[in-house]
Amino acid sequence: MPEIRTGRVRVAVLISGAGSNMAALVDAGAVTDASFEVVLVLSNKAEAGGLAVAEAKGVPTALLDHALFGKDRAAHEQAIQTVLEAHGVEVVALAGYMRLLTAFLVGRWAGRMLNIHPSLLPKYPGLDTHARAIAAGDAEAGCTVHLVTEGVDDGPVLGQSAVPVMADDTPASLGQRVLAAEHDLYPRVLGDFCRSGMSLPDPSPLRRGDARQPCE
Ligand code: GAR
């Protein structure tokens, strides 16, 4: 049974892959005056490298492989919800969680679920954001932390960070630069969000992306 500490917002991080953003959040939540702590890392994929990273950091992990639920998204999300409740989670942070969520889980966590996306939304919702920024000749790219709503990569923006696009950038090199910015932005924005009692920045920039599907 994990120790229940008071004073810090209890955050679950949902991942599907390497979990470098998750690691940044865990580390930021472990400092003395942090406003949050990561109490659970949950993956929908057994092969997610982030699970071992979280375990090495002493964070409880859960694996809920969506493939075992077939097409039953509702059952998968209900299972996620049960684990989140069991860990006393107050805020959910999606960090490379590459599976679309339905209205059930999004509605259950309305105003309490954040996502990081590797573009300056509303530009480039969906996949291949870095290739699209390079193809468009953009001078800058970046990342966005936003509240999760039923729209894809949509919802009120909580923070953004821009990086330059270099003339010789490939999607991989630009992705590395953006990822480094993500590791700085996400802990900062989540920290402010939890410190402010989960309120939106003022004014809250509500915007809409297009309906491209980013995930499975
Ligand atoms: C990050 O770049 C994150 O912004 C992106 O996946 C990567 C996960 O890396 N998320 C999305 O594209 C979601 N739309 P990580 O597992 O090392 O944190």
| Residue of minimum CA distance from atom 8 in ligand 1 | 96
pLDDT digits (tens, 9 = 90+) for 164-214: 999 999 999 999 999 999 999 999 999 999 999 988 776 554 443 333 334
Mutate to test the pocket of ligand 1, among 15, 20, 132 (most ligand atoms within 8 A of CB): 20
Rounded Cα distance between 144 and 69, Å, is: 31
pLDDT digits (tens, 9 = 90+) for 8-29: 999 999 999 999 999 999 999 9
Q: Other CB atoms closer than 10 Å to residue 5's CB: what's the count?
A: 9
pLDDT digits (tens, 9 = 90+) for 34-92: 999 999 999 999 999 999 999 999 999 999 999 999 999 999 999 999 999 999 999 99
Q: Which two tokens stand for residue 23?
A: 């690691």
| Residue of minimum CA distance from atom 3 in ligand 1 | 96
- Whether 19 lines ligand 1, by a CB cut-off of 6 Å, is yes
**pLDDT at residue 199, rounded to an integer:** 84
Confidence band for 7, pLDDT divided at 50, 70 and 90:
confident
Rounded Cα distance between 135 and 40, Å, is: 38
CA 161 to chain centre: 15
Q: Which entry of 66, 76, 87, 117 is annotated as an active-site residue?
A: 117
Please, what are the domains in the chain? 8-109 (3.40.50.170), 116-216 (3.40.50.170)
Global pTM value: 0.91
**pLDDT at residue 5, rounded to an integer:** 44
Q: What dihedral angle (degrees, nearest 10) is formed by the CA atoms of 31, 34, 36, 37?
A: 10
End-to-end Cα distance, the chain: 33
Q: Which two tokens stand for residue 110?
A: 């309305």
